[in-house]
Amino acid sequence: MASILSVGIDIGTSTTQVIFSRIDMENMGGYFSVPRVSIVDKQVVFKSPVYLTPLKTPILIDGAAVRELVAGAYRQAGYTPADVNTGAVIITGESARKENAAEVLSQLSDFAGEFVVSTAGPDLESIIAGKGSGAYQYSMDNACTAVNLDIGGGTTNMVMFKDGEVIAKGCLDIGGRLIRLEKDMTVTYISPAVKAVADEVGAAIEVGRRTDYGTLKRITDKMADLLAQALGAKAQEALIYRIQTPESTWFESGEPIRAICFSGGVADCIAAEQDDIPYGDIGVLLGRSIAQNALLKRYTCISGSETIRATVVGAGTYTTSISGSTIDYAQGLLPMKNIPALKLSAQEQSACFGVNTGELRQKIRWFMEQSASDLIALAMTGEQDPDYPAVCRLAECLSTEMDAALPQGKPLIVILEHDMAKVLGMAMRRQLGGRRKVICLDSIKVEQGDYVDMGRPVLDGMVIPIVVKTLLFG
């Protein structure tokens, strides 16, 4: 058995958190069979306090202050960056749209070890939070659909799993920090999305003026109603499209919902008995509106294993997967980070198996120009149990076209879903005659626009830890 240490760092609209997890892997194939390495356990070994995300201004994250929070969490946990093998640093919610999001990630880079994701984006956050909350596991354990709504300070990230597969995802600008208030009910901040909701329900609210609970309740009741619309509980109105989070996918599954789960900071307010504005925002009021919404009550609600920590737990324990156990890679190349993935369509893959490359060479060069990279990972589905001549034809095509398109000295990286990497990698190396190094991995699903991190080989080199990610800033 082998173990790797994973870190999860979540910088959200309201809070910043850090966790460390231990991920255990074991060869389940036995001594006299093909290796079959699986992740057998994931255990959170340290959770930091939930910190308020430090801001310089309403639109600027305080990068130095965030760095100090993260450094303090490392010290409390007793780890150093050199101890970390994998994980994720993510900027989420409204924070992902702050002006200096990239600069903050840069400040955190030396705490990330050599193999940590730096990513932000509402779709990816939806999936990570849904895995951290327990909705993902519930959908697998019960062979059903389960929806997670991760309601934070600035956004509500939605994801639907069916038997563990993501079938819908999306994000709305609905959250607990979108209106902020002083103790005397003077409004200090209103987000544009909430202003649209307030105008729709005729709730007069302005920065610098005092408001009242009745006005705020009309707004939070409408927000809860919009969440019900997003789930398909009633007809959707035009307003819901106006509060869709930029860069997010539209949540549309076409499947009946078996269960819903709430996570995020507002989830803790749904059933809690608290003062109306203990945090100087509408989080508690929004939680109450959700609890009282008749349409949302119709769904079976399951208790999440994590609420406010769902995203950081998902980031620290669910972003890492492992390659297949029959793979081929050149020694000394790994780890590698931030490799843009070019995904071939089924038609393009079929042409490659027939050595009918067409415009593949030009497409690779175009993709490298678009991604401003001199290295790519060519991704494809592959075939189930292809015969050896078919593999040789594919190897001839990929070797020839990638060799011609990539700068001299760069390795050829191929990632497949089906189990055929070892024989394909060996055939490609034979075609290349030593001119280039090859990395060929399988059992990994990659989509167009994704980036790939590959860690150091583990379990005597049998498998590679992989993170597939989306580098996206709204």
Task: Answer for the pair 95, 53: CB distance below 8 angstroms, yes or no.
Answer: yes
pLDDT for residue 318 is more than 70: no
Q: Check residue 306 and give its pLDDT.
A: 81
pLDDT interval class at 316 (50, 70, 90): low
Q: Check residue 322 and give its pLDDT.
A: 67
Task: Answer for the pair 48, 17: CB distance below 8 angstroms, yes or no.
Answer: yes
pTM: predicted TM-score of the whole model, two decimal places:
0.75
Scanning the structure block, which residue is given the tokens 């507002």?
266
Q: Check residue 30 and give its pLDDT.
A: 53
Tokens in use for 74? 């490392």
Interatomic CA distance for residues 328 and 362, integer angstroms:
26
Interatomic CA distance for residues 336 and 273, integer angstroms:
49
Interatomic CA distance for residues 137 and 30, integer angstroms:
27
The per-residue DSSP string of 420-432 comes to -HHHHHHHHHHHH
pLDDT for residue 291 is more than 70: yes
Q: Which of the following CATH numbers is that of domain 125-311: 3.30.420, 1.10.260, 3.30.710, 3.40.50?
A: 3.30.420
Interval 223-272: pLDDT, tens: 999 999 999 999 999 999 999 998 888 998 789 999 999 999 898 888 76
Angle between helices 346-353 and 360-371 (to 10 degrees): 130
The per-residue DSSP string of 72-129 comes to HHHHHHT--GGG--EEEEEE-GGGGGSTTHHHHHHHTGGGSTTS-EEEB-HHHHHHHH
First to last CA, the chain: 41
Q: Which fold has domain 2-119?
A: Nucleotidyltransferase; domain 5 (3.30.420)
125-311: same fold as 2-119? yes
Whole-number average pLDDT of the chain: 86
Interatomic CA distance for residues 273 and 107, integer angstroms:
39
Angle between helices 346-353 and 388-405 (to 10 degrees): 110
Scanning the structure block, which residue is given the tokens 């240490």?
5
Q: Check residue 32 and give its pLDDT.
A: 43
Angle between helices 388-405 and 421-432 (to 10 degrees): 50
Q: Where are the domains of the chain?
A: 2-119, 125-311, 323-469
- 3-class state of residue 351 by DSSP: helix
- Nearest Cα to Cα of residue 177 among 220, 212, 227, 228: 220
Please list the residues that pair with 55 across neighbouring strands: 61
Interatomic CA distance for residues 345 and 269, integer angstroms:
45
